[in-house]
Structure 1
């Protein structure tokens, strides 16, 4: 088995990460993520009223300082169930995600042991690891450790580590026909996938209606901050947005500008669609280079392909990849590309 190529990690967007982390620091968002998107009837036996975020008291600096994860727990019967939520917004998919998850959960378990946060029977609690993915590419990383480890003699089968995670791909979930309706996380995913100012305005109006109660003011503000710092700059680059502190301000701002922004929003949507297409083509070329010439050539191809934005040039390179007799020839063709 050929191992996945080492991934060149694209720089994370700290604004996007912090915006989502602010949203999922609210129990209502985690509740709707669990009830709306975690498969199985067993979710109905969770005591959602006991949801509490784990922070500070016994989570190590390794986990506490990580900008892309959150840890929650809630009651499942008489015991605690932990939810490990990893926010993944990088444009490059990590083929070793299952290994990362195993490492993070090992750190969590070490701290639970140190803090004596064990079950009534002295055992570790179950953990549900969720990867919330927001990238444009179709997720193709292994969702378990099994395919990442070479086969071994049967006598060693009992010693192979096992780890899986639940992948929640926002792009797929937003387009699902049976997506939950009155669900805060589903509304967030639909906003991310919206292609028009009118569609976004409709979703924001719905959120304003759902989040009317005074005790929901913190979540209203979290949505407003995410909308102003992440969502609008991505849809309308260059447009100056006044800081907003409540979701109702977002609604009125959108309503006042929907006609003005419609054309620009559509143009940005077209450009975003084109970039997603280019990114998909680059991903296919890297995968084919890995299959033909090995992981080292694929790794060297990645930054060279990243600088090419012309779709016709990328298509021409696909032909060159098939015709190149070896990896060095392929890399030479890449370097010559305008």
Structure 2
């Protein structure tokens, strides 16, 4: 699948996140320790393919990265879904949940699933002019009349890397971190 990237920031994002070394450094410096301490950072595989259904074909995921777990007696894989946003998007959590389901459904269709679904950690990288004001928790979309309904709402969140206060020069420096850090 070919993507036409018309936004300068999207083009930069895709260019940088297509590089193994950059993705490895991003995970090393910006993903919480309690997650990255379980990962084999030498096992990165980048997938620039979007996860699109016919009904949502105007959406596509930015970058999906497959990575293996450390110290596992089985082959366990997980994914990071990196999504770039240049303006606050109230329904970004719904969009990335759709990407996750599309990935799992494609794996099911291609008979690539074992007994369990792989973990997909969504990361929104936000570079806009205003502050990101939306929650990272999916359940914030719902108004529950009582706690009895809580079991029917997915417990789901994403990581937000908010770099909205950076100018384009700072963004270029930040996006080149893999060339600057040992």
Query: TM-score, with normalisation over the residues of structure 2?
Result: 0.78
Structure-2 separation of matches of 1:148 and 1:210: 39
Note the alpha carbon deviations across 1:49-70, whole angstroms, 9 max, x for none: 11002355xx644499856611
Question: After superposition, where does 1:160-199 map in structure 2 within 5 Å?
Answer: 160-171=153-164, 191-192=170-171
For structure 2, the residue ranges without an aligned partner over 5 or more in a row are: none
If you compute each CA radius of gyration, which structure gives the higher value, 1 or 2? 1
The structure, 1 or 2, with the larger RCO (C-alpha pairs under 8 Å, 6+ apart) is 2
Residue 107 (structure 2) pairs with residue 112 (structure 1)? yes
CA 209–135 in structure 1, closer or farther in 2 if over 3 Å, else same: closer
Higher strand content, 1 or 2:
2
For structure 1, the residue ranges without an aligned partner over 5 or more in a row are: 1-11, 175-188, 195-199, 212-338
Alpha carbons 2:61, 2:99 under 8 Å: kept: no
Question: After superposition, where does 1:34-183 map in structure 2 within 5 Å?
Answer: 34-55=27-48, 60-62=51-53, 66=59, 69-76=62-69, 77=72, 78-90=75-87, 93-119=88-114, 122-171=115-164
Instruction: State the Cα RMSD in Å.
Output: 3.4
Note the alpha carbon deviations across 1:64-120, whole angstroms, 9 max, x for none: 985661111010133001110101123xx111222222222111111121122224x
Question: After superposition, where does 1:1-338 map in structure 2 within 5 Å?
Answer: 14-55=7-48, 60-62=51-53, 66=59, 69-76=62-69, 77=72, 78-90=75-87, 93-119=88-114, 122-171=115-164, 191-192=170-171
Structure-2 separation of matches of 1:136 and 1:47: 35
CA 97–29 in structure 1, closer or farther in 2 if over 3 Å, else same: same
What SS class does the counterpart of residue 94 from structure 1 fall into? Answer: coil
1:13 deviates by 5.1
